[in-house]
Structure 1
């Protein structure tokens, strides 16, 4: 696997562990949420992890769904064996909450509820010998109190940000977000100037900075290879222009494994980026690289 000696971009391949049809915000699809297919997901996830091990050296993070319509299916049974295999190969786990109620809204602002379901997911992973290192909100949701909850429980990395996104109905408000890794201000919905920084290091989805539509993001299924390459090249050019190494994630879903065009696109993208200024990293490695650079500057 080729890679740049001094990469312009540190890229975390992020994999949501889920099922294919989940549209709680889409009235055009009657807010359709199909029943989860956890048994099918076991094979899909295991196969995808083995592919990623070969293509990234095990540098990726799994983000298993827990939410209103599938609370524990992806945090129980054989799925845990799949996660352990991935972690043994170098991968990481995050907690990924989907607190939507189809056609009615979300529960992301309910602090007691969020704390309860988050801690339950964390306990299930830890009881299986897996330490979650990050959090990710469903549909990019993130509320300011997560800046307190995560560090209190030993989690210091978040991957919820879609730069420029503004969906108050989903609690996904990122209008003041950076386009590279940074420490969140205590209220990330407001400008960072004048705010104390939290202990939570944010790794946003890779974005071209011109909007938060699918075409602007490194969301593999919702783009074409040529556009993913375009977005990535914008990120790389940003690094070269500013002198700041860019830290971002790309997004793919295990539920997409059964779509040949999507998995092939993902393979081609993963094969392309190491030869074009990127290095695959875990979230912990990305945070460590940022911290080391900050320490050098402060010296």
Structure 2
């Protein structure tokens, strides 16, 4: 079967006790249990190798309540393995204040923490190729910063999401990958406004902007049938538009020790692979887009 959907399997590094804006977790900012997180990371590396031949995007958490822990040994050895087996590393900032709000709209703060993480990862020998804002957050001032740093890819977007209090406004974007406008991430660019930042959106059903509407595979209120339903919508778009779709899916390291979530993920991947999908890393996704568009 021909490839109709190119999927970047994106894995967020995180832990169960983190939920500063989640009332369901009582706005928890419990420090990460690093030993458990390390075991989860090890399992994720093997899972990505088994299911996707390593093709993936691994987003390394750095934020208000855990700035450097995931950027130090022994985690760094695991992230090196991700790169060696065909995956790629992304910056992933979470700049929240528990029960209160975020710093996502503060230009000086966001530029500072993104530069810090980028420089830190480069210094330890990793090669970040992209960015993903925590809670789907992204502001227009980030585009020239990413260009300046030579970060050509972003995975912050979730089509239909409209949460201005979190700086997560993606209600008018395409459902498949595109280049960001230099001035407005929520608008397709004119040629003179086209930036060098390639935006890959989260797979979406187009029926709303909540997690249940996205290919957030380990979302606790979703299930395998919902994820398959959303994928079928993406597949239908590819057929109706006569153009392959380029999207990402979302999973978290903390689900690696949960058999139910791992089984859900494996069954979802199996379903997509039998129905027109191919896993790629972010750089491959960009090259595919450019070849299709040329």
- After superposition, the Cα gap between the structure-2 partners of 1:28 and 1:263, relative to the gap in structure 1 and judged at 3 Å, is closer
Counterpart for residue 80 of structure 1: 76
CA drift of 1:21 comes to 2.2
Aligned pair 1:209/2:206, yes or no?
yes
In structure 2, how many angstroms separate the alpha carbons of the residues matched to 1:28 and 1:220?
A: 19
Say if 1:175 and 1:189, in contact at 8 Å, map to a contact too: no
Aligned pair 1:197/2:194, yes or no?
yes
SS at structure 1 position matched to 2:180: strand
CA drift of 1:246 comes to 0.3
TM-score where L is the length of structure 1: 0.93
Say if 1:14 and 1:60, in contact at 8 Å, map to a contact too: yes
In structure 1, how many angstroms separate the alpha carbons of the residues matched to 2:24 and 2:91?
A: 29
Counterpart for residue 61 of structure 2: 65
5 Å-filtered alignment, 1:69-218, equals 69-188=65-184, 190-192=186-188, 196-218=193-215
How many equivalent residue pairs? 291
Counterpart for residue 234 of structure 1: 233
5 Å-filtered alignment, 1:14-53, equals 14-53=10-49
Per-residue CA deviation, residues 68-118 of structure 1 (Å, 9 max, x unaligned), is: 000011111211000001111111100000001112211112222212211
- After superposition, the Cα gap between the structure-2 partners of 1:221 and 1:294, relative to the gap in structure 1 and judged at 3 Å, is same
CA drift of 1:30 comes to 3.1
Counterpart for residue 259 of structure 2: 260
CA drift of 1:190 comes to 4.7
CA drift of 1:40 comes to 1.7
In structure 2, how many angstroms separate the alpha carbons of the residues matched to 1:95 and 1:264?
A: 27
Please identify, of 157-166 and 40-49, the stretch whose mean Cα deviation from structure 2 is larger: 40-49
Say if 1:201 and 1:287, in contact at 8 Å, map to a contact too: yes
In structure 2, how many angstroms separate the alpha carbons of the residues matched to 1:261 and 1:250?
A: 18
TM-score where L is the length of structure 2: 0.95
- After superposition, the Cα gap between the structure-2 partners of 1:202 and 1:193, relative to the gap in structure 1 and judged at 3 Å, is closer
Say if 1:174 and 1:188, in contact at 8 Å, map to a contact too: no
CA drift of 1:26 comes to 2.6
Say if 2:203 and 2:231, in contact at 8 Å, map to a contact too: yes
Per-residue CA deviation, residues 92-147 of structure 1 (Å, 9 max, x unaligned), is: 10000000111221111222221221122112221222110110000000000111
Please identify, of 121-130 and 184-193, the stretch whose mean Cα deviation from structure 2 is larger: 184-193
Structure 1 stretches lacking a partner, 5+ long? none
In structure 2, how many angstroms separate the alpha carbons of the residues matched to 1:210 and 1:161?
A: 16
Q: Once superposed, which parts of structure 1, at least 4 consecutive aligned residues long, lie more than 2 Å away? A: 26-30, 186-195
Counterpart for residue 248 of structure 1: 247
Structure 2 stretches lacking a partner, 5+ long? none
Name the Cα RMSD after superposition. 1.5
